[in-house]
Structure 1
Amino acid sequence: MQEAGITISNSDLKRLLACANGDAALLYLYLAAGNEPELAGQALRMPKTRIDLATASLRQLGLCAQEEPKHLAPAEAPSYTEEDVTREYRTNPEFPSMVGEAQRRLGRLLSTEEIKILLSIYRYLGLPPEVISILINYCIQRGRGRGQTRMPSIRSIEKEAYRWADLGIDTMEEAAVYMQSQLQVQANVGKIQHMFGIEGRKLTPGEEKLISTWLSWGFGEREIQKAYEKTCMNTGGLKWPYLNSILKSWHEQGLLTLEKIEAGDRMPEKAARSPAKPGYNVQHHDDDLSDIQRAAIRRMLQNGEG
């Protein structure tokens, strides 16, 4: 191995720590030192399966270069026939086993048209059976996490399969890491939704995308709650653009932890000492605030008095 100094940015370090994956951290340091990827297993004394999982984790964290995506289009997929399905059943033992696994996970028999779609995922997209199995399981778990009681349709699974193909997810290790990371993001989004007091409805795609962006920047629940409290204090409620502007500003300044954020807040702010003008970012009707928003404002006032 080469001897060289290694510099790790704060954002990369935060991602590695949040990942809590020792193999991924070791591989990151090995590659950052300019060593050959092909020799990583030998140098780090890891079997290929562990190297593959560590590589997949780094790719999901955006810390490892990915292969050029395929960008396959559904319109360009061949039209598979019943004869194609029959031939695949007869000549490829792997295919009927894959169909049986899909039916077992979905809890029902698939129609011929649905099996044609599976054949397209298998042949046209080139996803191996073990990846397709993880794909189906991921779609099921994602639906449950969103409160859906019905199993996903084959069409929705196909749509996700194209996304995986575009992302270059075509190994069992990459599929497992992607599934774990995405389900964790979904769980974290749900926690933030509860923190905001959004109950009885689903997040809009735009709202969900904003929260996912904040999480990808490295903010946790505490940091987002701090921004939410400042938003309630200054605007009287949950204002998504205002909240996003706070977190974006912290992100651009490298303030990714609550400690750094609070240290920055203790600096003199002339604007904060100026009396608020009527009609500007002030909520005059307290009855319009939710209990969660009132609590957020109380916490901000108490912190300010401290």
Structure 2
Amino acid sequence: MTSVLLPEGELRVARCDTLDKLIAVGDGDAALLYLYILRHGSEDGRTAARALHLSDERYERAAFTLNNLSAPAAETKNTEKSENAAPQYTAAELRRARNEDGEFSAVCDAAENAFGRALTEGMLRSLLTAYDHLGLDGGAIIELLSYLKNEKGEVRLSDIKRETYQWADMGIVNAQDAQQYLARRVNEKPFIEALYRALGADPAQPAPKEQRVCRFALAHGFPAESVELAVRRTEAHQGHRSLDYTLGILRQWEKSGVHTISEITALEPESRTAAVAVGQTEAQPTDSGTLADWEQAWLAQKEEIRRRMKEAEANGL
């Protein structure tokens, strides 16, 4: 068979365990989406789908596959596996890296300023793992240290470990990419905190599943009140909170093209009562005569789509 030679260019780092899983499932769209995220970061889903020429259905299927490959329960396990696979640097190697590599030495100096004390061997090992094993350059690591110090008031080794592995997953390996990514995080912070509150989560210490729902809501443009409506609907249908069920509701709304409460309640009049509990001042009647013109037209369009889908199913298409 013909050999393939890849041209040289800008470096992006991919985790082998994720690549192995993608190869195993054989999902080409998921693999393509993963490459897009490595190159551009986790951007808006519609932008990614448009760039990759994927229909909404194909994009959602690819995103679902990727989310399952990196499900919260597996993320911790995979991170631990990656940490165990990292080189076990000796004390001599750590000293040599700090004394002989000017770029890494600058990282160590910045880390000491951030920690407010001399680096321990464990701190040095984590920094060298990010620099040498994960491929983050000195500028990216310094940007991370500065962000953690400004954002949390202190720098913890656990935060460095978690963030550097995540950055490597996303292909954020140089200072410019780090600055762009951190700028987005700063701008998104108020929205993220509101989303966590809607989920009933602690914005300072969200659980992995809460982070997953928040990422989906943020990426697809769901405001906090819509997320809270999904939580209330989950409780009404399940009798308890279920983040998996809530995420399923959001996925269904995304598939239907609705995001705000007004759009959701136009599609699902039965949701109007629940919407009152999340900030609506008055429950609106559900008969079509009370709906705005755009709502009636929009509902008619959705009903027509449903009718065509039922006809297709009846005809075995």
TM-score range normalised by the length of the shorter chain: 0.5 to 0.7
Shift of 1:196: 5.4
CA–CA distance in 2 between the matches of 1:246 and 1:300?
Answer: 23
CA–CA distance in 2 between the matches of 1:171 and 1:199?
Answer: 31
CA–CA distance in 1 between the matches of 2:145 and 2:261?
Answer: 38
**Residue aligning to 1:87:** 96
CA–CA distance in 1 between the matches of 2:174 and 2:215?
Answer: 25
**TM-score normalized by the length of structure 2:** 0.53
Q: Secondary structure at the match of 1:60?
A: coil
Aligned pair partner of 2:156 in 149, 152, 155: 152
Alignment of 1:155-166 (within 5 A): 155-166=158-169
Q: Aligned letter for 1:260?
A: E
Q: Aligned letter for 1:59?
A: G
Asked whether the equivalents of residues 229 and 300 of structure 1 are also in contact (C-alpha less than 8 Å), the reply is: no
**Residue aligning to 2:22:** none
**Residue aligning to 1:217:** 220
Shift of 1:110: 0.8
**Residue aligning to 1:296:** 277
Aligned pair partner of 1:61 in 39, 43, 47: 43
Asked whether the equivalents of residues 114 and 146 of structure 2 are also in contact (C-alpha less than 8 Å), the reply is: yes
Asked if 1:178 is matched to 2:184, the reply is no
Unaligned runs of 5+ in 1: 1-54, 274-292
Asked if 1:121 is matched to 2:124, the reply is no
**Residue aligning to 1:110:** 119
Q: Secondary structure at the match of 2:259?
A: coil
Deviates more, 1:132-141 or 1:222-231: 222-231
Deviates more, 1:97-106 or 1:241-250: 241-250
Q: Secondary structure at the match of 1:120?
A: helix
CA–CA distance in 1 between the matches of 2:242 and 2:101?
Answer: 56
Identical amino acids, percent of aligned pairs:
23
Aligned residues: 220
Unaligned runs of 5+ in 2: 1-36, 53-78, 291-317
Asked whether the equivalents of residues 195 and 214 of structure 2 are also in contact (C-alpha less than 8 Å), the reply is: yes
**Residue aligning to 1:75:** 84
CA–CA distance in 2 between the matches of 1:235 and 1:159?
Answer: 33
CA–CA distance in 1 between the matches of 2:234 and 2:126?
Answer: 47
**Residue aligning to 1:4:** none
CA–CA distance in 2 between the matches of 1:234 and 1:220?
Answer: 21
Tell me: CA distance 1:303–1:114, structure 2 relative to 1, closer, same or farther (3 Å): same
**Residue aligning to 1:256:** 259
- Give the CA RMSD over aligned residues: 4.3
**Residue aligning to 2:56:** none
Cα offsets for 1:271-294 (capped at 9, x unmatched): 999xxxxxxxxxxxxxxxxxxx99
